[in-house]
Structure 1
Amino acid sequence: MRAAPALGDDERRRLLAGAHHDPHALLGAHPVRGGVLFRALRPYARSVTVAAAGLRARLRAEGDGLFSGVLPLREIPDYRLLVTYEDAELELHDPFRFLPALGELDLHLIGEGRHEELWRALGAHPMTHQGVSGTRFTVWAPNALGVRLTGDFSYWDGTALPMRSLGGSGVWELFLPGVGEGALYKFEIARPDGGHSLRADPMARRTECPPATASVVHGSHHRWGDDAWMARREGGRVHELPFSVYEVHLPSWRPGLTYRRLAEQLPAYVKDLGFTHVELMPVAEHPFGGSWGYQVTGFYAPTARLGSPDDFKHLVDALHRAGIGVLVDWVPAHFPKDAWALAEFDGRPLYEPADPLRAAHPDWGTLEFDYGRNEVRNFLVANAVYWCEEFHIDGLRVDAVASMLYLDYSREPGQWTPNAHGGRENLDAVAFLQEMNATVYRRCPGVVTVAEESTAWDGVTRATHHVGPSGFGGLGFGLKWNMGWMHDSLAYLAHEPVHRAHHHHEMTFSMVYAYSENYVLPISHDEVVHGKRALVSKMPGDWWQQRADHRAYLGFMWAHPGKQLLFMGQEFAQGAEWSEAHGPDWWLLDPSYSAEPDHRGVRDLVRDLNQVYAATPALWQRDTDPEGFSWIEGDAREDNVFAFLRFDAEGSPLLAISNFSPVVRHEYRIGAPESVPVWREVLNTDDRRYGGGGVVNAEPLKAEPTGWHGRPVSILPVLPPLATIWLRPA
């Protein structure tokens, strides 16, 4: 062996500082005149020996952990390194002898911002490369001077594991032999300012359990058992199907349960109550549990608090096999500033805009995404696809859409810059949302996207290629939360019945715009926290009146055009606000707590609402068709009464009547369609089974030839106090 040519001072300095763009050009094995040059970087090693068939040669120490030598070989052998430390000797594959494990097409698509399966290209992937088992690590960090890999496999010292830059893509790569699933890792970034930062992998598919922040090498082994569900989903049109959603915060639904334990209990509970879907508050990894998941640092990793990614797949699988769809809250509007996560990831603004005024989210102390950057947009679009394809998620409820759409959202004059046309619309965010929706609907038939959008933005649920009066194409969502209905109806119910006559329009105004978008009626977690009180506690009066109002409101809500969403605990009239620390007050359902059906009765009502709803196409088949609804009585403000018809595709009606006054109204004449001679009551929220007073219409109601409410015939039902009744043709 002869001595290798010395590294130049600059090359050596950059390599040892972790700021070299191509460490593979300096390390590993390379043909040179007269043989093969071997060089290894192994800090703390006492010696490094090259071992191959019929070969064992000890390299010369160059100092600073560098070892090198030139062997008189004609070609590079299949070799290993024997590294001797003070107390051990390890036989290792040299990571710097391997070709890049990421293809040119992947790099091209990443650069274009069009890699719809980005999670397959970036992050940590256990694989066999050039016949050797290990893990390929890749990360996008275009502003970094260098990137080093570190983890429990290197005792968290990344000196020996510099990564190579793959051209102008901004991607850095290293294949590390012998490292597999379960390994902890991070990336050490050499910043443009000369500093270093240790970062979790933005594309990590598994993380340590917070407060620990390392990424975890993951390979999925779950075998899906929901083929029948997925096949049915592909042919479904959510707007014309039953869609009744139970919103759940998984960590607090039954505190202490893992994903797998939840799979034993949640599907059975939701199925028993008849909900068609669950909506899970964000499950992507987040450092602070008190954010409820809305401040995400691991966009590609289900939170490790409840188990592994395969454990989460097991939960989704169990829900599907029970016939229940799964929506997840998705948060592309912002991310936290934690120094180990996305903020200034490679030493400069990367995922966030460079302009600090554009980057800082004024409400939440977080950073907004730079939707105009190809790679950032790709990161988010691929993430939406990832949850739907890898975890079989049936829908994405997109959080805080309004904060994305407006440049002046929560900003004062002087704190924002108009768009190129002088307007307040965030054109990049609009384009991102359109691309995300179009991509999800193209790749994942049967999946629905739902916008939490609190303004009157035109065309949230309009197709992206249909341009509206505003000049914008539709955003392309499938459904939108009806925040106006929620706000107005809850305001009405908060008034004492004697004052409700002055607020009657708050219950009817929603029908002025009910068909402007495809709506979900949400009574979500946001309405039962932070001093807003639980749903039943918003109602005035004594406990009996509160529960009666609660039941009547649910009956009104389930009959109103639009899909329904109800947050956990409200299905049994929990009186206390929700707290993520202890979750729903399940003890209220224990018969030993009370023999009266005050809480169990409300739960039974929700079960019956869902059962009758699912069996009555008039309540869901024409949710987006104005011909599917007709007022009968929308102006009885002095009586606090509302009556309307819903129709299915064949014209078969359901008649819903709500009496939001605390008095019984005997023989209250209601106009009715001439085509229905006899009606029967199919649901009454005052039924004793639900904790009501038992004022019901036990006998069929025959139409009389007395015109009323502009209709040729009428019926005379009894309207229970603070109650909703549903009638169908007998």
Structure 2
Amino acid sequence: MALRDTSLPESAGPRPPVAPALDPADRGRLLAGAHHDPHALLGAHPVPGGVLFRALRPFARSVAVLVDGRRTPLVSEGDGLFAAVLPLTAVPAYTLLVAYEGDESEVHDPYRFLPALGDLDLHLIREGRHEQLWKALGAEPMTHQGVSGTRFTVWAPNAQGVRLAADFTYWDGTAFPMRSLGSSGVWELFLPGVGEGTRYKFEITSRHGDRFLKADPMARCAEVPPDTASIVHASHYEWDDAEWMAHRGDVPVHVAPFSVYEVHLPSWRPGLTFRQLAEVLPAYVSDLGFTHVEFMPVAQHPFSGSWGYQITGFYAPAARLGTPDDFKYLVDALHRAGIGVIVDWVPAHFPKDDWALARFDGDPLYEPGNAQRAEHPDWGTFEFDFGRTEVRNFLVANAVYWCEEFHVDGLRVDAVASMLYLDYSRDSGQWTPNVFGGREDLDAKAFLQEMNATVYRRNPGVVTIAEESTAWEGVTRPTESGGLGFGLKWNMGWMHDSLEYIAKEPVHRKYHHHEMTFSMVYAYSENYVLPISHDEVVHGKQALVSKMPGDWWQRRANHRAYLAFMWAHPGKQLLFMGQEFAQGAEWSEEHGPEWWLLDEGYGPEADHRGVRDLVRDLNTRYRATPALWQRDTDPGGFRWVLCDAAEDNVFAFLRYDAEGVPLLAVSNFSPVVRHDYRMAVPDDVPVWYETLNTDDMRYGGSDVRLLDGIKPENGEITLTLPPLATVWLTPTSV
């Protein structure tokens, strides 16, 4: 915007014709922010006697039009309106000279531009099939009709009018009403000269006459809470992970090693930004041998003390930790370290903050119109209207967005069960059956199928993971076979049962033996992840090591034995931060992991560092042993050796890889050494070697080891089982 000297002489010649007055109804609606087509009233339009120029510039001292270097003042019509008719035969190229107190600026008139959103975009939006919706809606810096600026678009079909309010308007939207683009429900305005970093909101006038400011649902960048404005953003990040992206889908995830470290980024190392985390997190995760990290929600959420599951900015990474490009830098760093990135994605609900999605245009829009259906009974939030075309498109495109714009390798979908069932946490009379009389939410089912099919089609190598806690059939079955189409599902049954067992005193465990074996009844009904997640180490549930019975040594021994049992069990693994070194306290989002427990000189040498060393070795052996992951979804890859030794608290099973090479896992969940313990094994393995023993002194154990190879006799081997320990044996030594 160029400043001009306000003392320039006015153009010579006869006085221009007087501008025709605006229709009072149009004028009233325009000034009230309730007009659907401000471009028909503002800008330049042919009229009898010439071309009418009209501008709306509240608080301006004067406005003039500049055509071919000739300046003509516009006449004030009051309320910030200025107009004049110039004796021209056609609408020319022109700019406006707008003077406020002391300064005059030359600006392009936003109301001389054609819509900057194409017919194809509008068609796809109406049909709910715009898979890159973020490129059509929101704030898009661009060059339009040869002029640089930003296109603002928003879906608000029930609004009487929408205006743009921004930092440069002092949050008054009067000067920049947007136009409705017909039946699409989309409002649009191209603002020349407005670029990256501009803070903005949409000022909406509802059909009821209420006026309020809303953050942009499609904003790709937002202010740091408690501030709530959206920010114009364009990415300038140059990726350096081409090799990772090209090969991440070479091996399907269900037949590949998949060991996940779950992280709450704001508290992993409190105070670090995305870029600072990129300097330390990849090295830590790589050192421990995890194949993936999973981030608790990184999308914008208003409350710093929360875990991020009440999202107000579905398209914006959390501003507290940096910019969208900063988050890309973190993902890129992890990829370069050979680590995949999964993000928690939350399409089940959204908060009721009055500046965000709730009643966005004055009426239920993203939420169902039925108040009974809209209210989520557990979390004080709204559920999405999965039956509405545009809402479904908003969410499907959002899943695609995180995969394509941020190169994430997976989406862990939160609270799937709450979406699938109409009666979820609702009593009789609080829900309405579906058209078939059932309790299934058919719209939510269709949405999840569409989301999964779209993500997998567009992003080879990406995996979607369902947190689904019921027996819904076919969660990981392909959509073409009627399933929901997820790649993996959290095994909540295994998690609850195994934690129930391990929390018992060893003397009582024999009465709960089935809780450790029952998972194999259904282990191949879905493609499973075994999760020890953040939910299991908060709110009085205690940290994993603190769930264990006995003294401190026994607790750590139980912890180690349980982890090795988990890593050997069919299914992928997920472990929440802090549990990799047996943190005794529950996780706190304020303080994060108790890293000081790993300091040199704190406690016995192997107290916590030994457990972390075990996790490193578990991952190293796991990745090097195809039997532990190659046939996770194949019943032929598993065989019980001992499943009924309840009196002894002993479990033993075999895992096989695609070539039939076995691994024998034996767990003794009693605090006694069991000498000369016999069990049947395959007769085609001449010698068994210990490749991992959680009782190793290096991990803090009592060092009851199987140092020599063990030869079967008459189809059996005889072992000395260490106390509260899991041992892995293979046909070859490591």
Q: Calculate the TM-score normalised by the size of structure 2.
A: 0.97
Show the counterpart of 1:636: 645
Show the counterpart of 1:228: 243
Partners of 1:667 and 1:527 lie apart in 2 by 37
Partners of 1:294 and 1:522 lie apart in 2 by 18
Q: 2:287 aligns with which of 263, 272, 276?
A: 272
Residue type of the alignment partner of 1:556: F
- SS state of the match for residue 419, structure 1? coil
1:301 paired to 2:342: no
1:436 paired to 2:445: no
Q: 2:555 aligns with which of 534, 546, 561?
A: 546
Residue type of the alignment partner of 1:345: F
1:76 paired to 2:91: yes
Residue type of the alignment partner of 1:618: A
Show the counterpart of 2:364: 349
Show the counterpart of 1:709: none
Contact 2:205–2:361 (Cα < 8 Å) also in 1: yes
Show the counterpart of 1:558: 567
Alpha-carbon deviation of 1:667?
A: 1.7
Alpha-carbon deviation of 1:235?
A: 2.1
Show the counterpart of 1:675: 684
Alpha-carbon deviation of 1:596?
A: 2.1
Show the counterpart of 2:259: 244
Partners of 1:667 and 1:572 lie apart in 2 by 32
Alpha-carbon deviation of 1:288?
A: 1.1
What is the RMSD of the two structures over their aligned residues, measured on CA atoms?
0.6
Show the counterpart of 2:12: none
- SS state of the match for residue 648, structure 2? coil
Alpha-carbon deviation of 1:236?
A: 2.5
Matches within 5 A, 1:569-588: 569-588=578-597
Partners of 1:407 and 1:690 lie apart in 2 by 48
CA-to-aligned-CA distance 1:458-486 (integer Å, 9 cap, x gap): 000001121xxxxxx20000000000000
CA-to-aligned-CA distance 1:326-371 (integer Å, 9 cap, x gap): 0000000000000000000001000000000000000000000000
- SS state of the match for residue 491, structure 1? helix
Contact 2:215–2:229 (Cα < 8 Å) also in 1: yes
Residue type of the alignment partner of 1:117: Q
1:724 paired to 2:726: yes
Q: Calculate the TM-score normalised by the size of structure 1.
A: 0.98
Alpha-carbon deviation of 1:595?
A: 4.1
Show the counterpart of 1:607: 616
CA-to-aligned-CA distance 1:666-685 (integer Å, 9 cap, x gap): 12112110110100000000
Alpha-carbon deviation of 1:74?
A: 1.6
Matches within 5 A, 1:134-283: 134-283=149-298
Matches within 5 A, 1:192-591: 192-466=207-481, 473-591=482-600
Identity rate, percent:
77
Partners of 1:687 and 1:215 lie apart in 2 by 54
1:5 paired to 2:20: yes
Partners of 1:124 and 1:572 lie apart in 2 by 45
Partners of 1:244 and 1:54 lie apart in 2 by 68
CA-to-aligned-CA distance 1:441-461 (integer Å, 9 cap, x gap): 000001000000000000000
- SS state of the match for residue 465, structure 2? strand
- SS state of the match for residue 398, structure 2? helix
Partners of 1:538 and 1:187 lie apart in 2 by 50
Show the counterpart of 2:11: none
Contact 2:241–2:332 (Cα < 8 Å) also in 1: yes
Partners of 2:169 and 2:601 lie apart in 1 by 57
CA-to-aligned-CA distance 1:369-428 (integer Å, 9 cap, x gap): 000000000000000000000000000000000000000000011110110111100000
Partners of 1:75 and 1:8 lie apart in 2 by 23
Alpha-carbon deviation of 1:53?
A: 1.2
Residue type of the alignment partner of 1:273: L
Residue type of the alignment partner of 2:455: V
Contact 1:150–1:185 (Cα < 8 Å) also in 2: yes
Partners of 1:38 and 1:110 lie apart in 2 by 33
Alpha-carbon deviation of 1:3?
A: 1.2
Show the counterpart of 1:106: 121
Show the counterpart of 2:10: none
Partners of 2:251 and 2:415 lie apart in 1 by 27
Partners of 1:549 and 1:85 lie apart in 2 by 74
Contact 1:149–1:188 (Cα < 8 Å) also in 2: yes
CA-to-aligned-CA distance 1:95-144 (integer Å, 9 cap, x gap): 00100000000000000000000000000000000111100000000000
Contact 2:17–2:49 (Cα < 8 Å) also in 1: no
Partners of 2:676 and 2:655 lie apart in 1 by 22
Partners of 1:465 and 1:135 lie apart in 2 by 41
Partners of 1:271 and 1:403 lie apart in 2 by 35
Contact 2:196–2:233 (Cα < 8 Å) also in 1: yes
Contact 1:117–1:386 (Cα < 8 Å) also in 2: yes
Alpha-carbon deviation of 1:46?
A: 1.3
Partners of 1:361 and 1:87 lie apart in 2 by 54
CA-to-aligned-CA distance 1:26-45 (integer Å, 9 cap, x gap): 00011122211000001111
- SS state of the match for residue 678, structure 1? coil
Alpha-carbon deviation of 1:17?
A: 0.2
CA-to-aligned-CA distance 1:667-724 (integer Å, 9 cap, x gap): 211211011010000000000000001001011101112xxxxxxx111111100000
Partners of 1:412 and 1:516 lie apart in 2 by 30
Q: 1:689 aligns with which of 688, 695, 698?
A: 698
Show the counterpart of 1:38: 53
Contact 1:548–1:692 (Cα < 8 Å) also in 2: yes
Show the counterpart of 1:649: 658
Show the counterpart of 2:8: none
Show the counterpart of 1:470: none
Partners of 2:724 and 2:26 lie apart in 1 by 81
Residues matched between the structures, number: 717
Alpha-carbon deviation of 1:225?
A: 0.3
- SS state of the match for residue 465, structure 1? helix
Contact 2:44–2:54 (Cα < 8 Å) also in 1: yes
- SS state of the match for residue 386, structure 1? helix
Contact 2:51–2:89 (Cα < 8 Å) also in 1: yes
Alpha-carbon deviation of 1:591?
A: 1.2
Structure 1: 4+ residue segments shifted above 4 A? none
Alpha-carbon deviation of 1:592?
A: 2.2
Query: Could you tell which deviates more after superposition, 561-570 or 283-292?
Result: 283-292
Residue type of the alignment partner of 1:727: L
Residue type of the alignment partner of 2:49: G
Residue type of the alignment partner of 1:343: A
1:659 paired to 2:668: yes
Alpha-carbon deviation of 1:318?
A: 0.1
- SS state of the match for residue 484, structure 1? helix
Contact 2:513–2:646 (Cα < 8 Å) also in 1: yes
Q: 1:93 aligns with which of 105, 108, 129?
A: 108
CA-to-aligned-CA distance 1:642-670 (integer Å, 9 cap, x gap): 00000000000000000000000112112
Show the counterpart of 1:710: none
Q: Which runs of 5+ in 2 are unaligned?
A: 1-15
- SS state of the match for residue 449, structure 1? strand
